Amino acid sequence: MSPGLETSDAPGSSVSQAVRRAADLLLREQHTQGYWCARLSADTTLESDYILLQLWLHPPAGGRWNPPSRPLIDLAAKSILARQLPDGGFNIYPHGPAEISASVKAYFALKLAGLSPDDPRLARARERILALGGIQAANSYVKINLSLFDLYPRAHVPRVPPELMLLGNLVYEMSSWTRAIVVPLSIVQGSGGRRPAPAGFTLQELFLPGRSLGFRKPGDGMVSWRSFFLGLDRLLRLWERYGVKAVRRRAIRAAESWMLDRTRYSDGLGAIYPPMMYIIMALDVLGYRRDHPDFVEAVAQFERLMVREGESLYFQPCFSPLWDTGIAAYALGQSGAAPAGALERAADWILSKEVRRKGDWSIKRPNTEPSGWYFEFANEFYPDIDDTAMILLALRHCRAGNAGAQDAAARRALNWLLSMQSEDGGWAAFDADNNREILSHVPFADHNAMLDPTCPDITGRVLEALAASGIASDHPAVRRGVEFLVRSQEPDGSWYGRWGVNYLYGTCFALRGLRASGEDPCEAHILRAGEWLRAVQNADGGWGESCASYDNGTFTAAASTPSQTAWALLGLVAGGDESSLSVRKGIEYLLRSQRPDGSWHEEAATGTGFPKVFYLTYHLYRQYFPLLALASYARAADGVRIRETALLTEERL
């Protein structure tokens, strides 16, 4: 424990004890290899898609469906039912309202798993779906998936053409996760892939009478990019019927090659759930035997995401070891409560995961030496700017067994980060200048994540990492990053959070980046942010924000959570507020809600996958962020006391 944590002012001594308990718990969670990797959970759509995949892999025989995976399907159905809302629907974040796409997927999966349409649970789900607009209101990917089994009219789902692969670098103008989804899906759809549903199986009861099956038209009747892409979709249908088949075959082979290349040095395509599911379907439609090494590997990587605990089964969307390790090691380092051996093991493991091959990012940065870190255990094509910045911050506290190797890796990663700055001065997640807004209007872009634009939360973290790595505040990249943050501040003083819920997350890391970059706490943008944070504090002293903030386009309060309270405190401290009543009440909330074993409880989803569409519950957020907040508060309070003591000494002299 560093001397700065031995605080004497209330609740100072309690802060020291809380930090020790939290650090001890986090150290117990460290794996022997040196990393941290906690559970990552989401909504019922993952289990629903698993059941859909089983129908694809094991189609009915003689009209009857009796797949070999029936025991797992039953467990998945049980998991889905356990999360059904009282109104019959299914939500996409804890305590959220029923959402149409998740509800349609769940209904399909449960009915396929054997629930009778007369079952009261399915009847309630059906009523809720119709109240939400029927199956026609579901997103494009739900409709595409169902169309593969002729459960939604193919004439009314968007085309995902494999010919995209023949249009130069167009696919790289999509976000990394979108291209990893679109490429295998284009093979499935472009090859005419389809499977039968069980005899008599239908979803006709979910179609709302009188509602169009087609795409939503632009509301103003004017020519728009949306209109253009709807027209292009119609042309693609004609191309499928009358086009040159050799071109389609060439496109599919190009997509196949692209897809398989990106399974090398990775734990599955993109190392995330949707692409890992679609590649199995793509390999199947391409005729790969079930014992082919690529097929076997694809299935094995997908099934690794399955978690079975007794009679419970659910899927993780991916694994998060680099992210968890970076934040855990940094929080422990800031606390001063970790033995050097634990941090050395973390650093050694981190260094073993540095990217040393060029990936998709190099299309726009071809002359940059590969480096950086990804999110998962292995995902060489997709190093992540946010993870790389977090790892660089962690490495300031960790010394690997080979100090020279660590210094070299840090230098490479720093240069990679600098090269990945976009033209607007900000940083995105995986790519630079991935902001062709026109692509957000294509018919299959309604997953709300077609692009990977720059955002305040990542930009703030990168600025913090640059400062910690010795980059001066007058460096051109730093000044451009600061200007981006000042320019992107919301009118109320907050910042949007792309990868965490939402304005609390964005404001926290924007403030930390600004302060690390040498911004004066008396600057108007920092003062406004602090006022905003204090204004949205809950009566219990904590902070909480609902995922509905994304739907509403403004902060939407929710019950306090440990992780969001920590973000607010970290933002306030970064903004120069170490001792206000708001800060003290926030600290008291964390102290009061900490359990005897050093842990905090949190049910809310405070991580963001795709805003408005997919949210994440990181099960270590409630541990390492409060630890970091308490440690930062203690260090800041210690600094205040040192300054006050120095002033008193000067006065006496």
What is the residue-wise DSSP string for 25-41?
HHHHT--TTS-----EE
Alpha carbon distance 126, 232 (integer Å): 34
CA angle (621 as vertex; 267, 320 as ends), nearest 5: 5
Alpha carbon distance 425, 433 (integer Å): 10
Q: Which helix (H) or strand (E) holds 341?
A: helix 340-351
Q: How many CB atoms lie within 10 A of CB 415?
A: 14
Secondary structure in 3-state letters for 450-482: CCECCCHHHHHHHHHHHHHCCCCCCCHHHHHHH
Alpha carbon distance 127, 134 (integer Å): 9
Choose, from 284, 384, 386, 387, the residue flagged as catalytic: 386
Q: Collect all residues with Cβ–Cβ distance below 8 Å to 162 and sequence separation of at least 6.
A: 183, 186, 187, 190, 248, 251, 252, 254, 255
324 has catalytic annotation: no
Q: 11 preceded by cis ω (within 30°)? A: yes
As beta bridge partners, residue 615 has 608
Alpha carbon distance 406, 400 (integer Å): 6
DSSP state of 97: P
| Cα radius of gyration (the chain) | 26
Secondary structure in 3-state letters for 150-201: CCCCHHHCCCCCHHHHHCCCHHHHCCHHHHHHHHHHHHHHHCCCCCCCCCCC
Supply the residues annotated as catalytic. 386
